[in-house]
Structure 1
Amino acid sequence: MAEGKTDRRVRRTKALLLQGLMQLMETKDIKDISVKELADLADINRGTFYLHYNDVYDMLAQIEDELFVEFHGIIDRTLDPASHAPRTTLFEVFSFLERHKEVARVMMGPHGDLSFVNRLKDLVQTRLDNILAARRAVEHGCYLESFAVSGCIGVIDTWLAQPAPPSPETMADLCGTILERGLGVS
């Protein structure tokens, strides 16, 4: 019974810290955020912070790693070179982003983490390369992949910035149409 309370308190503490970190990263780079400032904003003791993280960089890395575990699962489950349906993958990606909208928006924002965006790009580009290679050899495929991945990241960035963005279904259809016409990956 006590273990359930501990888990709930840990989840609550981490949620408060995440909320505080995202709030601070709206206006500051990670290098300019102190543990004291974050702990004060989350209304916790600095010692409590250090029970979970070594520093703000460790916290950011753990947050990113947790997101990437889920994102990898989506990509592994939906992005199969043999039977790729881009709208399914896109719907899952936009649903994932909708669930983690605030974190994704901050991470991709002006004070966000460029390594986070690059990890997203690298993962998707590698998988897209496998799909195109399985379908047929594409002349200048690396440019098409780069264009598609950067374009999708740009669309995601714009979508995250909207106060009332279209649904994941709408975005999957839009991006799916663009990819199918431009890359022939339908």
Structure 2
Amino acid sequence: MQKQPRITEQTRANLREAFLELYAKRPLEKLSVREITDRAGYNRATFYLYYHDVYELLKEAEDDLLKSIEQLVNERLLKGERLEFSQHMGLILQMTQDSRKSTRAFLGPHGDPTFTRRFKEIIAPLVDRFVMPAGRFGPRESAVVREFYLSGLVAVISAWIVDEDPMPIDQFILLILRTVL
């Protein structure tokens, strides 16, 4: 029996959304396939048509978001587009806001540290290009300062995205630029 692509995508999206709602509230180890399928309105067998387990669903959801952010950074930054740091961050923040449910779950208290590490690796070229003082530090010091900025950016993005009424992106970026960078 051939699955219909539109129905397949909708089913996957519904399962993912149910998963993200639960994952934002509880650690992955405390989630069950039954909870996810009950919330999405499917039976357990449907889940297993698409995913081996909740870990596979998590990986797919994380990969999709990170791939989108990486593509944005690569297209804008690495192709030499003449945007300022605030514009690059604005694009990334807009994407995280558009994917708010995912971002809240991944950067929230139950999020996978591997996601955070991968997210830092993707935004590192922005920090390297716009924030790191050129030639001011040796390699060892540069690594520490770079991690300081990356961790700080991820922390403020996490705090911003979990806020029920987050400040507008331009105001958020201005706050960061004025106080930290």
Q: What is the TM-score with the length of structure 2 in the denominator?
A: 0.84
Q: Which letter maps to 1:57?
A: Y
- Cα pair 2:22 2:31 within 8 Å, conserved: yes
Q: Which letter maps to 2:161?
A: L
What is aligned with 1:128?
A: 127
Q: Which letter maps to 2:84?
A: A
- Cα pair 2:104 2:158 within 8 Å, conserved: yes
C-alpha RMSD over aligned residues: 2.6
Q: Which letter maps to 2:29?
A: K
Shift of 1:49: 1.2
- Cα pair 1:91 1:171 within 8 Å, conserved: no
1:84/1:177 Cα in 2 relative to 1: closer, same or farther (>3 Å)? Answer: farther
- Cα pair 2:21 2:101 within 8 Å, conserved: no
**What is the CA–CA distance in structure 2 between the aligned matches of 1:159 and 1:84, rounded to whole Å?**
23
1:109/1:133 Cα in 2 relative to 1: closer, same or farther (>3 Å)? Answer: closer
Q: Which letter maps to 2:4?
A: T
Q: 1:30 aligns with which of 28, 43, 67?
A: 28
Q: Which letter maps to 2:105?
A: V
**What is the CA–CA distance in structure 2 between the aligned matches of 1:173 and 1:10, rounded to whole Å?**
42
1:81/1:42 Cα in 2 relative to 1: closer, same or farther (>3 Å)? Answer: closer
What is aligned with 2:85?
A: 86
Q: Tell me the matched-pair count.
A: 176
Cα deviations across residues 7-36 of structure 1 (Å, max 9, x unaligned)? Answer: 332222122212211222133211222222
**What is the CA–CA distance in structure 1 between the aligned matches of 2:135 and 2:179, rounded to whole Å?**
20
Shift of 1:170: 2.2
Percent identity of the aligned residues?
25
What is aligned with 1:168?
A: 169
Cα deviations across residues 116-166 of structure 1 (Å, max 9, x unaligned)? Answer: 11111122235533x279973231322221121111111111111211112
**What is the CA–CA distance in structure 1 between the aligned matches of 2:26 and 2:134, rounded to whole Å?**
45
**What is the CA–CA distance in structure 1 between the aligned matches of 2:130 and 2:165, rounded to whole Å?**
34
2:18 pairs with 1:17: no
**What is the CA–CA distance in structure 2 between the aligned matches of 1:178 and 1:95, rounded to whole Å?**
21
- Cα pair 2:24 2:105 within 8 Å, conserved: yes
Matched residue SS, 2:26: coil
Q: Where do 5+ consecutive residues of structure 2 fail to align?
A: none
**What is the CA–CA distance in structure 2 between the aligned matches of 1:7 and 1:154, rounded to whole Å?**
38
Q: Which letter maps to 1:9?
A: I
**What is the CA–CA distance in structure 1 between the aligned matches of 2:170 and 2:130, rounded to whole Å?**
24
